Structure 1
Amino acid sequence: MSARPLRIAMLASSRYPVRQPFAGGLEAFVFELAHGLTTAGHSVTVFAAPGSDIDAPWNVMPLRTFRMSEETRRLEPTTPEWVVEETHAYLSVMLELARAELGSFDIIHNHSLHYLPLAMAHTIDAPMLTTLHTPPLPWLEQAVALPGGVASSFVAVSEFTARQWEPINGPVPVILNGVNMAYRPVGSGGGRYAVWTGRLVPEKGVTSAIAAARRAGVPLRIAGPVGDREYFDTAVRPLLGAGAVYEGHLRRDELNALVGDAAVALVTPHWDEPYGLVVAEALAAGTPVAAFARGGIPEIVDDSCGRLATPGDIDGLSRAIREAMTLRRADARGRAERRCSHEVMVQCYLDHYRQLIFPPMEGVSA
């Protein structure tokens, strides 16, 4: 199996730029993985939304933008423009990759949540690996079910997500998301407050965090992008004050300081979180976690680093907060190093890449 540097194309979101402060966990993940692969000596080109970080140590190719004509808007006023723009962006990049000279890329690593990269994977000479960051969304599932199958291999971000996809894809290997410990020093925890980070949207459940922190008698500091303005204004903003403060949308260094100084991190999804990157980020900072036991979160949090509550149980979560605050920060950091290793994640992806690029010949062991 060749050990030469690889030429890797990564397909990211066409809607949210890969830049700080990150719009969400997917953008942060792409940034971290691209950084790790580049540091390991490989050539990485990220196809991402316009405005992505051009100062990164890899190539950034903005996905094509498109604006509907006024006539089309008039004739189809109910069609969301972002749906048309996203479809155009991925159709364009897949056509460009199909026309690329043989050898332009060794592998295409697909992180998009759109069906077109899967549906058009057979048009590209290079193999494709798709990371399943979500449950089987209808548009993704129908692409996988196309006649003749889909010309992509798959990995999932958690055992939970792999189980969700198994009835559709069969068994799926798992590579847990990793966080770069070098950029996340262990914090003091001296702030004696709880912290909640993430996108401010209904499914992330920040209102449960506010209620549980108040019941536990612990101040709460909140950080993240407002992903749903109406939800924030009507459901979240009225709950602020009296120990619950919104700090805004922070850059990585600011966020690391906020999380590292916290005594406990709250993770309160109202849906089955496929992985829970904010859990790994908190543990890397040495901050124990109190969370709802949903989706992939129980695969990361054990008794050494946090406490889990039944989803929706505010009393249980308030108890989990108080108990988690007594745990050793060194144990939280140790759990992150063992379970959420950035180095292990990068090496696992490189191993998968090489298996696809240099498949063993029949009768010859790899």
Structure 2
Amino acid sequence: MKHDIATIGELADLSAFDEIIDVRSPAEFAEDHIPGSVNCPVLDDRQRSEVGTLYKQVSPFAARRIGAAYVAENIADHLRTRFCQRDRNWRPLVVCWRGGQRSGSLTHILRRIGWDAQQLEGGYKTYRRLVIGSLAEIPRRLSLTVICGATGSGKSRILQAIAARGEQILDLEELACHKGSVLGLLPNCPQPSQKMFESRLLTSLATLDPRRRVFVEAESRKIGSLQVPEALIETMRAGACITIEAAIESRVDFLLRDYDYFLNDPDLLLARLHALRHLQGSETIRRWAEYTRHASWRDLVRELLQLHYDPLYCRSQKQNYSGFAAPKTLSTTDLSTSGIDTLASRICAG
């Protein structure tokens, strides 16, 4: 076995290294990467494109010739900047797409200097296979308690308040950067790629103790554009349910606070409402547009709940969550910060 090649059988093996260096291009790194790794590309996005084009249109030799020059320049820069303060005992793991020439180049140089650098066998693709396998297994070991409730019931805030009391939670909407509905997009917070979402999810799952209960908010299979892994959604749907029954006016108040960014950007709100035209009809969308233009926010939110969200919620929960047939129910007329803390306290008390 080569001494500069690292073979990992599970994600925990990655902790044996002082640092994980991902040498792929910034665009590849942005799509997904091993959590905690640093990006030190040996080819940037433009250089990678140029080398790939030469390989296809001219010859592999021409591509390797210019590629080697770029790689040498970039590695030299990393040595002068990123790695210049590393001590003699530093032991990094070097990762590229499939454990080939890019990671091999940096590993070779680092080892010649004297560091015990290791190249990940199979590269990022090895890591990705482990992610897929882990996400098919870990969720099934958990005991999930699902927080249910119609839109505007403060479920995400309740989940955060439960965490503040020392309980375990899995906050899927935070991981997905989305609130899980047609109006769920977050301003200035684009959703991660599906692969990055799954990496974030696995990192969160790895912190959970399967011997203790885990609270999670009821979700559909998709959160925005992202798919919840099958093993997790199945485990959630088999979990015990706690339903929040909040008075509609308290839900309206909560949503006006929680989605206040829409009130400051009516054009964005109108664009999102237009996406509901096939479900609600043109007349309803025109009326909601009028509410928006005249800042009749309470009327708009109340109708959105009554005509769209509540019917959708009832159908979804009854069909998908087995625990919804006989849930523990908590009623409230107060979704203020103190009201949410009270609900969280009641939930944690069991």
In the superposition, the TM-score normalised over structure 2's length comes to 0.30
Higher helix proportion: 2
In the superposition, the TM-score normalised over structure 1's length comes to 0.29
